[in-house]
Amino acid sequence: MDNNGRTFKPRIIDIAMQAGVSTATVDRVLNRRDVVSKKTIDRVNEAIELLSGSSSRPRIIPSVSAGLTVDVVISKFAGFANDLLTQGFQECAEEAGIKLNMIYPSEMTPQGYVSALESCLARKSSGVILQALDHQSVRDMVGALGEAGVPVVTILTGLPGSEVLGYVGLDNRAAGRTGGLLMGRLCCRPGEVAVFTGGQLYRSHEEREIGFRTIIRSEFSHLSILDDCVGMDDPRKNYELAVDVLANHPNLVGLINVGGGNRGIEKALIESGRGSVLTYVAFNLTPLTREALLRGTLDAVIHQDMTSSARTALSALTDLASGRTPAFLPSKLEIIMRENVA
């Protein structure tokens, strides 16, 4: 209250600044409009409680994150895992008061990604988070963004040889070796193993495949690996490839998919009647892979938490804007099987 005994009622802008969220988010919390995460609601309510006890109009230094605009460039063709990543970005950006632009390249080609990054450069956003294709033209655009003062963080898949702030995601070589260890332990009888990838433009897929092949060669000589099945993360292509492999390789004992498009592989396994006798390992827990685990078609999922990855990437940009040194550590790898699936 002031000298006359009056108590100041905090304004929406005061609450937003104190909580580090947008005014629109405060409005949604106060008026119960739309869905707001519990964590965000708690932050807003804590800010209101703090400001309501003030005897004068609060003088608040806005949260750095509340003024940031971040562009996130990821593939819309990578399936449910990227849907979960998008959801994670939206939740974390709302909590931090960051304006988020989700940008989906028109096609899964270097030129499609270059065009998307050119739009980021034209807007001069506070930072870019990129699920990168491993191509020199993409590196050149990342360099152009850096020269313009726009930091870039890569997520899920790295871009070696480029001027990025850092990488958020799994140690994909270790993840591939983990997949190889699972396959080798679960496949007791000798035979052939099929490897499904999204293509060589994702460095993460290449590293997972290398890790997988390395441990199979060195520790599980009873298994031989077939030529890659390159399905481009497309369920339809993966289905066609899986149907062909299942029909032409009677000695097949296992399959691993280091990318997306698991739905197509599972469909082929079910139709073949061999889903319960072949070992199948995949990446990322989604509604579909969860169902496959419970059904018994899928044996193990190598998982990383998408919301945690999104939060780490956004935090790196807010740390940089605040003058702090961003911290980058490999994402936690989880092995999920039927008996520990949540």
Which of 91-100, 250-259, 279-288 is predicted least confidently? 91-100
What mean pLDDT is reported for the chain?
90
Across the range 131-145, mean pLDDT stands at 96
The pTM score is: 0.80
* 230-268 core/surface letters (b: 16 or more CB in 10 A; e: else): bbbbbbebbbebbbebbeeeeebbbbbbbbbbbbbbbbb
**pLDDT tens digits, 56-88:** 555 444 455 667 899 999 998 767 899 999 999
> What is the pLDDT averaged over residues 232-239?
94
Higher pLDDT, 55 or 205: 205
pLDDT at 136: 96
β-sheet with 166-168: strand ranges across = 99-103, 69-73, 127-130, 152-155, 166-168
pLDDT of residue 323: 82
- Give the least confident one: 7-11, 108-112, 290-294: 7-11
Residue 96, C-beta contacts closer than 8 angstroms, at least 6 positions apart: 20, 21, 63, 65, 66, 68, 314, 318
Amino acid occupying residue 217: R
Q: Is the pLDDT of residue 20 over 70?
A: no
Segment among 178-187, 206-215, 274-283, 314-323 with least mean pLDDT = 314-323
Provide the pLDDT confidence category of residue 134 given band limits of 50, 70 and 90: very high
Q: Give pLDDT, residue 60.
A: 45
Domains present along the chain, CATH in parentheses: 1-62 (1.10.260.40), 68-169+305-331 (3.40.50.2300), 172-303 (3.40.50.2300)
pLDDT value at residue 152: 96
Span 27-50, mean pLDDT? 82
pLDDT interval class at 162 (50, 70, 90): very high
Q: What is the pLDDT of residues 165-219, one digit of tens each?
A: 999 999 999 999 999 999 999 999 999 999 999 887 789 999 999 999 999 999 9
| pLDDT-above-70 percentage for the chain | 90
H or E element: which one contains 243?
A: helix 235-248
The answer, yes or no, to whether residue 313 has pLDDT greater than 90, is: yes
Quote the pLDDT of residue 263. Answer: 95
- Alpha-carbon distance of 95 to 87, in angstroms, equals 12
- Is pLDDT at 339 greater than 60 in this prediction? yes
Q: What local confidence, expressed as pLDDT, does residue 28 receive? A: 81
Average pLDDT over residues 15-38: 74
- Alpha-carbon gap, residue 208 to 173, rounded angstroms: 5
